[in-house]
Amino acid sequence: MTRTRIYLSALLLGVSQFALTQPVLAGGDIEVLHGWTSGGEAAAVQVLKDALEAQGYTWTDMPVAGGGGGNAQTVLRARATAGNPPTAAQVNGVAIQEWGAAGFLRSIDDVAVPGKWDDVIPAPVRNFAKVNGEWVAAPVNIHRPNWLWINAKIFADNGLKPPTNWDEFNTVSEALLGKGITPLAHGGQNWQDETVFEDVVVGIGGPDFYRKAILDLDESALKSDTMVKVFDEFRKIRGYVDDGFSGRDWNLATAMVINGTAAMQLMGDWAKGEIVKAGLVPGKDILCVAAPGTEGTFLFNSDYFMMFNVGDDKRAGELALAKGIMDPDFQVKFNQVKGSIPARLDVSPEDFDACAQKSMADMKASLATGTVYGANSANTGQPPAIQNAMFDVVTEFFNSDMSSQDAVNKFAAAIEAAK
Ligand code: BGC
């Protein structure tokens, strides 16, 4: 029997003396579905669970393995459409809008309005969290998918400098290949392929081109020579990954950089959660630089907890969870472990590592120049049909000898068909 149930039974029996000797339990189970199962992710879940349990709630864990959150979404859909949604679920931006439009979510304005969330959450993050003008999800962080992680020792031993554009990346990678070192740790799963691809789109085309092609789906951008060049570079990158890349989970690719079996990884800063968990110092043992050519552009995805319209008995728990997530001290503790930065703009960078500090500064600079863009690879761009159409072509190209021009034609046609 849980402590909560003991407490409730005691109350029902009218044993007030018993209740007085128990910890104050605000009451109730909160079932939380999430996709956080790697070492760093699980450590971050624990921080959140502890915070909620400290308020007297019971956290019922519903983890769904699989990087990038795709599997979690599939399970969530099955549960919700069967009429059995969890109390809350961890998602990225686009999903909130879809679940909200389908009427599954309920407002958390009761805590968001007094908490003045509008004033502290940056607009690109806020826009995904509201449906019909009301908050339905609490953002716990801001991730940056366009990072390059570098094993500092490998680079130092080989006299290499972090690449700042794709030509430099190619030169560095060729040098590493020449020494028998795998340049790039990669996991061949569609969302990871897309992560690398989007880095190249920004790095070669620039932020405006990324917005036009990937977010606005502008036909002339999609069919442009620049897009051919993007696929040309993406083809080169294929030559820099090891034979075992196919199907590899992202965290196993991160482990290759951590233990020195590969020199670099292009991955969001959830990779930093693994680095911290392994006891290494981000910015020192493992260097962090913007993916080649993407300095000045901040691709982002936030993790939110959206609240389902479940029984009234869950209401207090949902509000407690939402309020707890937005607590500034909690956002520090959580994001130190998760690898991301706070969703709130008013949290000081001083308690964060060098990579997070760079991320916080870069995001503020990009907010000022209007170059914070949702990462489609991380569910913060297109709705699933178009996102999958993109993933399919990108992954097929990476795993075949398709020409760049064919890829461009196929990419544009697949997007058009999915609209
Ligand atoms: C999520 C992160 C997660 C990563 C890898 C991203 O889509 O936003 O929180 O760590 O996928 O699973």
pLDDT range class, residue 3, cuts 50, 70, 90: very low
Distance CA 32, CA 48 (A): 11
What pLDDT sits at residue 11?
35
Q: Is the CB of 93 under 6 A from ligand 1?
A: no
Ligand 1 atom closest to the CA of 68, numbered from 1: 11
**Which residue lies with its CA nearest to atom 11 of ligand 1?**
68
**Which residue lies with its CA nearest to atom 6 of ligand 1?**
68
Average pLDDT over residues 46-72: 95
Q: Is the CB of 90 under 6 A from ligand 1?
A: no
Which segments of 110-146 are extended strands (E)?
130-131, 134-135, 137-139
Q: Is the CB of 143 under 6 A from ligand 1?
A: yes
Structure tokens at 185: 């740790």
Report pLDDT digits (tens) over 377-402.
999 999 999 999 999 999 999 999 99
Element (H, E) at 199: helix 190-205
Report pLDDT digits (tens) over 285-328.
999 999 999 999 999 999 999 999 999 999 999 999 999 999 99
Centre of ligand 1 to C-alpha 239, Å, is 26
Report pLDDT digits (tens) over 161-216.
999 999 999 999 999 999 999 999 999 999 999 999 999 999 999 999 999 999 99
pLDDT range class, residue 27, cuts 50, 70, 90: confident
Structure tokens at 163: 């690449």
Centre of ligand 1 to C-alpha 271, Å, is 9
Average pLDDT over all residues of the chain: 94
Q: Is the CB of 67 under 6 A from ligand 1?
A: yes
pLDDT range class, residue 221, cuts 50, 70, 90: very high
Q: Is the CB of 344 under 6 A from ligand 1?
A: no
Q: Is the CB of 374 under 6 A from ligand 1?
A: no
Report pLDDT digits (tens) over 110-121.
999 999 999 999
Q: What single DSSP character describes residue 341?
A: B
**Which residue lies with its CA nearest to atom 4 of ligand 1?**
68
Average pLDDT over residues 241-246: 98
Distance CA 141, CA 341 (A): 6
User: In the predicted model, is pLDDT for residue 26 greater than 90?
Assistant: no
Average pLDDT over residues 356-368: 98
**Which residue lies with its CA nearest to atom 8 of ligand 1?**
303
Average pLDDT over residues 357-378: 98
* DSSP H helix total and E strand total for the chain: 21, 13
**Which residue lies with its CA nearest to atom 12 of ligand 1?**
67
Are 194 and 188 in contact by the 8 Å Cβ rule? The answer is no
Distances (CA, A) of 376 to 16, 275, 284, 384: 54, 24, 30, 10
Ligand 1 atom closest to the CA of 41, numbered from 1: 10
Ligand 1 atom closest to the CA of 268, numbered from 1: 4
Choose the weakest-confidence range: 15-19, 47-51, 257-261, 330-334: 15-19
Give the bridge partners for 60, in sequence order: 31
User: In the predicted model, is pLDDT for residue 135 greater than 50?
Assistant: yes
Element (H, E) at 40: helix 39-54
Q: Is the CB of 381 under 6 A from ligand 1?
A: no
What pLDDT sits at residue 261?
98
- Tell me the three state secondary structure of residue 328: helix
Are 380 and 309 in contact by the 8 Å Cβ rule? The answer is no
pLDDT above 90 coverage of the chain, percent:
93
Quick one: which of 299, 321, 347, 303 has its CA closest to 146? Answer: 299
- State the first-to-last Cα distance of the chain, in angstroms, to the nearest integer: 51
